[in-house]
Chain A
Amino acid sequence: EDKVVQSPLSLVVHEGDTVTLNCSYEVTNFRSLLWYKQEKKAPTFLFMLTSSGIEKKSGRLSSILDKKELFSILNITATQTGDSAVYLCAVQTSGTYKYIFGTGTRLKVLA
């Protein structure tokens, strides 16, 4: 059975801290891995990763994929209260084009 596991489930940090969120996966036909941020309602897209070892970066956020060890990390540096959200990891499979989501990591950044 295809599955995506995120850790930790929740995290509380103070502004300025750096956090690393983890996503591991076991899927039959990997196509891509995606990260989303969900604050109140609809998830918003952060990154899509398809190749190992290539870091994607957007401001204070970055992500990298390891297809050999089957995991990805999402780093957030110099955290701000606006980073408080649930961060979702999803893996898209080829063939069926389904997206399999992890349970998410709830991040709370304290001022």
Chain B
Amino acid sequence: DGGITQSPKYLFRKEGQNVTLSCEQNLNHDAMYWYRQDPGQGLRLIYYSQIVNDFQKGDIAEGYSVSREKKESFPLTVTSAQKNPTAFYLCASNNAGYNEQFFGPGTRLTVL
């Protein structure tokens, strides 16, 4: 089955630790995105990548880092510099052009 997988589903982190969220897609999509969703809010763009080995900052990139070494993978690292990392993180992908984004099931990160 084609789709987007994210792992883990739930993640608990102590303050001061870096954590990496996984996002993998087998849809052969060129573009991949990371969003953050807080309660009662919409999706805010963290980083996005249109092609391998290239990515751009979104609206709230501070405290996050990404890599795009393979077309199918776009991991997100939440660093200790992120002041308020507790949130629901969604990964998405799509092909270039007039296309809808497909979303993964999300990772809920809680900082203890």
Q: Tell me the A residues contacting B by CB distance below 8 Å.
A: 4, 6, 31-32, 34, 41-45, 48, 50, 88, 90, 92, 96-104, 106
Q: How far is the CB of B104 from chain A (nearest CB, A)?
A: 6
Interface contact B42-A42, CB-CB below 8 Å: no
Interface contact B98-A31, CB-CB below 8 Å: yes
Chain B, 20-34, contact with A by CB distance < 8 Å: what is the 0/1 string?
000000000001010
Interface size on B, residues (CB 8 A): 24
Q: Tell me the B residues contacting A by CB distance below 8 Å.
A: 31, 33, 35, 40-45, 48, 50, 56, 58, 90, 96, 98-106
Cβ 8 A contact of B33, one of A6, A99, A102, A104: A99
Q: Can you name the residue of chain B whose Cβ is closest to the Cβ of A9? A: B40
Residues of A within 8 A of B106 (CB): 41-42
Q: Can you name the residue of chain A whose Cβ is closest to the Cβ of B40? A: A103
Q: How far is the CB of A38 from chain B (nearest CB, A)?
A: 9
Q: A34-B101, A97-B31 are in contact. List 17 more A-B contacts (CB 8 A).
A: A41-B105, A41-B106, A42-B103, A42-B105, A42-B106, A43-B43, A43-B90, A45-B101, A48-B100, A50-B98, A90-B43, A90-B101, A96-B56, A101-B42, A101-B44, A104-B41, A106-B40
Interface contact A42-B98, CB-CB below 8 Å: no
Given A98-B45, A99-B45, A101-B42, A43-B103 contact (CB < 8 Å): yes
10 closest cross-chain pairs (CB), A and B = A42-B103, A101-B42, A101-B43, A103-B42, A45-B100, A41-B106, A41-B105, A104-B42, A42-B105, A102-B42
- 30 A-B residue pairs with Cβ-Cβ distance under 8 Å, sorted by A, are A4-B42, A6-B42, A41-B105, A41-B106, A42-B90, A42-B104, A42-B105, A42-B106, A43-B43, A43-B90, A44-B103, A45-B100, A45-B101, A45-B102, A48-B98, A48-B99, A48-B100, A88-B43, A90-B43, A97-B31, A97-B48, A97-B50, A97-B96, A98-B58, A99-B101, A100-B45, A101-B42, A101-B43, A104-B42, A106-B40
